[in-house]
C-alpha cells in the first residue's frame, strides 16, 4: 500500500477536524432564546451593549459558554457579537445524532453572528471525543464549516505551531490492498 502524501494527509485531517466543531455555535435563527446569568450585569440600551461579570453562563438550548466576563453587542437585527474572557472561557455542545460532544476552551472566545465566525484565542483547545486541536488561535467559519489555526510565535505564546490529534475510528472504514 502506498503511503498517503503530505498534502492529502493535511486535507484528511482538516476534513476530520471540521466534523469536530459545532455546526452552528449560537444559532441566531433558532427558536431557542439565549439566556445569560452572571454575578453582575451592566446594560446600556443606547449603545446596544451588555457586560456580564462573574461566573457568566451563556446558554442557547444545549450550547453553553462560560466565562469570567462576557460582553454582548446588539445591532438593529439582534445579537451581533459576543466576546468572552476567562481563565479559561469554555464552550460546550453535547453530542448530536451525527457528531460527538464538543468541548473548547481559550482565554478569549469571540462569536460574530454577521461573519458566522467562532474564534478561540490564546491557549485554544477544541476537543471532540478523543480528537483534539490546539493552537494560539482557532477560527471556525460556522456557515462554511472551515477551520483555520495559527500557532503564533511573535507573542511568545505556545510552540508556534498548531497540533491535531485524530484518533482512529475503529472498524468504521476498511481498506483493501
CATH number, domain of 146, equals 2.60.450.10
Residue 171, in any domain of the structure:
no
Residue 174, in any domain of the structure:
no
| β-pair partners for 173 | none
Tell me the whole-structure pTM to 2 decimals. Answer: 0.77
Query: For the chain (length 177 residues), average pLDDT per consecutive 10?
Result: 45 39 52 92 95 97 95 90 97 85 94 92 89 90 82 66 83 46
Which cell numbers in the block locate residue 119? 474564534
Residue 66, in any domain of the structure:
yes
What is residue 156's predicted lDDT score, i.e. its pLDDT?
58
- The count of other CB atoms within 10 Å of the CB of residue 139 is 18
Residue 17, in any domain of the structure:
yes
Residue 126, in any domain of the structure:
yes
Residue 53, in any domain of the structure:
yes
Boundaries of domain holding 94: 6-165
Residue 27, in any domain of the structure:
yes
On the 0-12 / 13-18 / 19+ scale of CB atoms within 10 A, 102 is buried
Residue 176, in any domain of the structure:
no
On the 0-12 / 13-18 / 19+ scale of CB atoms within 10 A, 39 is exposed
How many domains does the chain contain in total?
Answer: 1
Amino acid at each position: 500500500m502506498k503511503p498517503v502524501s503530505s498534502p492529502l494527509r493535511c486535507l484528511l485531517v482538516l476534513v476530520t477536524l471540521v466534523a469536530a466543531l459545532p455546526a452552528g455555535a449560537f444559532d441566531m435563527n433558532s427558536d431557542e432564546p439565549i439566556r445569560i446569568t452572571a454575578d453582575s450585569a451592566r446594560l446600556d440600551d443606547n449603545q446596544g451593549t451588555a457586560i456580564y461579570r462573574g461566573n457568566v453562563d451563556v446558554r442557547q438550548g444545549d450550547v453553553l459558554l462560560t466565562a469570567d466576563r462576557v460582553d454582548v453587542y446588539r445591532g438593529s437585527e439582534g445579537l451581533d457579537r459576543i466576546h468572552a474572557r476567562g481563565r479559561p472561557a469554555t464552550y460546550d455542545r453535547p453530542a448530536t445524532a451525527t457528531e460527538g460532544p464538543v468541548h473548547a476552551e481559550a482565554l478569549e472566545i469571540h462569536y460574530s453572528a454577521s461573519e458566522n465566525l467562532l474564534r478561540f484565542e490564546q491557549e485554544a483547545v477544541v476537543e471532540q471525543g478523543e480528537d483534539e486541536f490546539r493552537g494560539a488561535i482557532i477560527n471556525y467559519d460556522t456557515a462554511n464549516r472551515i477551520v483555520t489555526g495559527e500557532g503564533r510565535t511573535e507573542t511568545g505564546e505556545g510552540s508556534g505551531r498548531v497540533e491535531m490529534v485524530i484518533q482512529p475510528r475503529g472498524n468504521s472504514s476498511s481498506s483493501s490492498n
